[in-house]
């Protein structure tokens, strides 16, 4: 399992592996929003939590179809399915690799973009925490969507359609946590609910995703 994680990370960091694409997308979005909305600091501060969370979500979505599609094309997925590692473990590890290369950098970079968007000072801590807690759920739900559409031609667009409604609770609780913190309110409740979604997704979705993969391989 560790070997699979190391391989996926190594592939992501090598040339053409796609590491940094999500981060770049996130940065461009944070630059474009003030250009579209106008430079008023009060307005930007008001919408900053939502923009940052929507941006992180879209950046995650951008790289989802790489989770299984490349391994499916070159035959690795067949070989992994016949390997001693259970397919559920393969799904979980690949989602983890996706999170390390996408969600974690987003969480770490978000405060810098928070400055660009004039996020209120009390929101910064919760911004990092909420993204760190919530993006694993985004990766895991995304892995499920990718598993559903892995064999399909042009599955990427369909996968977005399937995954976006599933992202709704994560987005709401994540963005609400930051909004509340930025207003000086207590953000514990949405953070706990967010952790609950992440824990539930990580515990259950590998099984659903592995089931979908087995069907797509046969």
Partner 1 sequence: MASLWEYANPVKFMRLSGWLMPLSAVLAAGLIVTGLIWGLFFTAEDYRMGSSVKIIFIHVPSALMAINAWAMMLIASLIWLIRRHHVSALAAKAAAPVGAAMTMIALMTGAIWGQPMWGTWWAWDPRLTSFLILFLFYLGYIALWSAIDDADTAADLTSVLCLVGSVFAILSRYAAIFWNQGLHQGASLSVAPGERMDLSYRMPLYLCMIGFGLLFLALVLAGTRTEIRARRARALLTRERARA
Partner 2 sequence: MELRVTELACARGGLPLIEGLSFAVGPGEALVLRGPNGSGKTTLLRTLAGLQPALDGEISCPPEQMAYAAHADGLKSTLSVRENLGFWAAIHGVSDIEPALEAMNLRDLADRQAQHLSAGQKRRLGLARLIVTGRWLWVLDEPTVSLDAASVALFAGVVRAHLATGGAALLATHIDLGLPEARVLDLGPYKAEIPADLGFGGFDGENGGAFL
Q: Which residues bind partner 1 (CB under 8 A)?
A: 144, 148-149, 152, 155, 158, 161-162, 164-166, 168-169, 172-173, 176, 190, 193, 197, 205, 208, 211-212, 215-216, 218
> Does residue number 153 form part of the binding site for partner 2 (CB under 8 A)?
no
Collapse the DSSP code of 146 into the 3-class scheme (helix H, G, I; strand E, B; otherwise coil) and give the result: helix
Distance in angstroms (rounded) separating the CA atoms of residues 217 and 38? 49
Q: How many angstroms from the chain centroid is the CA of residue 70?
A: 18
How many residues in total does the chain contain?
218
The token duo for 198 is 């992440």
Identify whether the C-beta of residue 103 lies closer than 8 Å to the C-beta of residue 135: yes
Among partner 1, partner 2, none, what does residue 165 contact (CB within 5–8 Å per kind)?
partner 1
Tell me, residue by residue from 42 to 81, as one string, x for binding to partner 2 by CB under 8 A and - for no binding: -----------------------------x-xxxx-xxxx
Among partner 1, partner 2, none, what does residue 216 contact (CB within 5–8 Å per kind)?
partner 1
Identify whether the C-beta of residue 140 lies closer than 8 Å to the C-beta of residue 149: no
The token duo for 21 is 């694409």
The size of the interface with partner 2 (CB under 8 A), counted in residues, is 25
Subset of 15-34 contacting partner 2 (CB under 8 A): 15-17
The token duo for 168 is 């709704």
Among partner 2, partner 1, none, what does residue 85 contact (CB within 5–8 Å per kind)?
partner 2
> Does residue number 82 form part of the binding site for partner 2 (CB under 8 A)?
yes
Could you tell me the smallest distance in angstroms from the CB atom of residue 44 to partner 1? 21
Eight-state DSSP code of residue 38: -
Collapse the DSSP code of 9 into the 3-class scheme (helix H, G, I; strand E, B; otherwise coil) and give the result: helix
Sites of contact with partner 2 (CB under 8 A): 2-4, 7, 10-11, 14-17, 71, 73-76, 78-85, 217-218
């Amino acid at each position: 399992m560790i070997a699979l994680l190391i391989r996926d990370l190594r592939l992501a960091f090598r040339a053409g592996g796609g590491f940094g694409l999500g981060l770049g997308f996130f940065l461009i979005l944070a630059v474009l929003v003030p250009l579209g909305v106008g430079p008023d600091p009060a307005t930007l501060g008001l919408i900053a939590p939502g923009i940052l969370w929507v941006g992180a979500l879209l950046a995650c979505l951008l790289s989802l179809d790489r989770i299984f599609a490349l391994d499916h094309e070159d035959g690795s997925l067949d070989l992994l399915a016949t390997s001693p590692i259970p397919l559920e473990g393969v799904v979980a590890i690949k989602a983890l690799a996706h999170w390390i290369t996408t969600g974690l950098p987003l969480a770490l970079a978000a405060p810098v973009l928070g400055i660009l968007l004039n996020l209120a000072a009390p929101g910064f801590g919760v911004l990092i925490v909420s993204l760190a807690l919530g993006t694993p759920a985004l990766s895991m739900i995304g892995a499920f969507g990718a598993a559903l559409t892995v064999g399909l031609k042009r599955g990427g667009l369909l996968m977005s359609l399937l995954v976006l409604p599933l992202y709704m609770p994560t987005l709401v609780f994540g963005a609400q946590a930051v909004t509340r913190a930025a207003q000086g309110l207590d953000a514990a409740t949405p953070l706990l609910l967010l952790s609950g979604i992440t824990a539930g997704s990580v515990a259950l979705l590998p099984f659903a995703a592995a089931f979908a993969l087995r069907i797509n391989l046969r």
